Amino acid sequence: MSALLEVERISRRYGGLNALKDVSFSVREGEIVGLIGPNGAGKTTCFNVVSGAVPPSSGAIKFKGRNIVGRKTSQIVHDGLVRTFQATTVFPASSVIENVLRGAFATTPVSMFGSIINTGASRATLAVTRKRCEQLLERLALSQFRDRKASELSYGGQRRLGVAIALAANPKLLLLDEPVAGLNPEEAADFGRLIRELHESEKLSVLLVEHHMRLVMGLCNRIVVLDHGEKIAEGKPTEISVNPKVVQAYLGTEVVA
């Protein structure tokens, strides 16, 4: 397995705070990697830096072997690196299907919409995209809500819609920031099954930030642990769950089996 994402010694300072300090890790093609750590450890900051929303103070990030530091977020999405957000970020006033279409056209400049609508060839492209978006709704159990406003979905539905929007952009690597936060245990387990299915059928690689340890331990091939902006451990779930540093900094007495 070759490295899809290589994060090399990235740091991010906010004033006097090292939100990330010299953090290195990689995600290989076809892997599901967990990124865990206590509140404020730097996980979301890591996503912000990797997805191009925030520049690193120092360090390098390569995606498919190419440096992506300084690239626009839309270019990074176009390259195949797509994130979801910790907070729900659907377009609440738009319909469910419109939300997913927006995801599909996330990297299309607005100036091109005219030609998409007006030329025959583009109409064909639009039809293919629409079909793909409908299939995504089906896959994420959202078809029955396709014409409802996104704001009318349940919390779990909104989380699934967030993933549908991200998937519509055709990611090679999907960054998920606490996708099951606020879901009940059954919904969380369903979500885990969905990620595994997508991982297998779409050859999707995943970087998963989660506090839900059962999900992380069950899904991930490898886990990277942050604490106070620094990487304190990396390894297989079985290694991480008994690593004394990780247990002390984060897992505590939580049951992780």
Ligand X SMILES: Nc1ncnc2c1ncn2[C@@H]1O[C@H](COP(=O)(O)OP(=O)(O)OP(=O)(O)O)[C@@H](O)[C@H]1O
Residue 51 sits in the site that holds Mg ion (CB under 5 A): no
223 within 8 A of 236, measured Cβ to Cβ: yes
Question: 8-45 as b/e, with b when 16 or more CB fall inside 10 Å?
Answer: bebbbeeeeebbbbebebbbeeebbbbbbbbeebbbbb
By CB under 6 A, name the one of 34, 37, 103, 179 that touches ligand X.
37
C-beta of 45 vs 205, nearer to Mg ion: 45
Euclidean distance between CA atoms 209 and 216, whole angstroms:
8
Residue 45 sits in the site that holds ligand X (CB under 6 A): yes
Residue 56 sits in the site that holds ligand X (CB under 6 A): no
Residue 39 sits in the site that holds ligand X (CB under 6 A): yes
Euclidean distance between CA atoms 191 and 182, whole angstroms:
12
Residues 6+ apart with CB under 8 A from 115: 122
Q: Provide the minimum distance between the beta carbon of 158 and ligand X in the complex, in angstroms, as a whole number.
A: 18
By CB under 6 A, name the one of 21, 26, 34, 44 that touches ligand X.
44
**Which residues, numbered 11-30, are part of the site for ligand X (CB under 6 A)?**
14, 17, 19
Residue 84 sits in the site that holds Mg ion (CB under 5 A): no
**Which residues, numbered 72-101, are part of the site for ligand X (CB under 6 A)?**
86
- The DSSP-derived string for 95-144 is BHHHHHHHHHTTTS-GGGHHHHHHSHHHHHHHHHHHHHHHHHHHHTT-GG
Q: Provide the minimum distance between the beta carbon of 215 and Mg ion in the complex, in angstroms, as a whole number.
A: 16
| Residues contributing to the site for Mg ion (CB under 5 A) | 43-44, 86
Residues engaged in binding ligand X (CB under 6 A): 14, 17, 19, 37, 39-45, 86
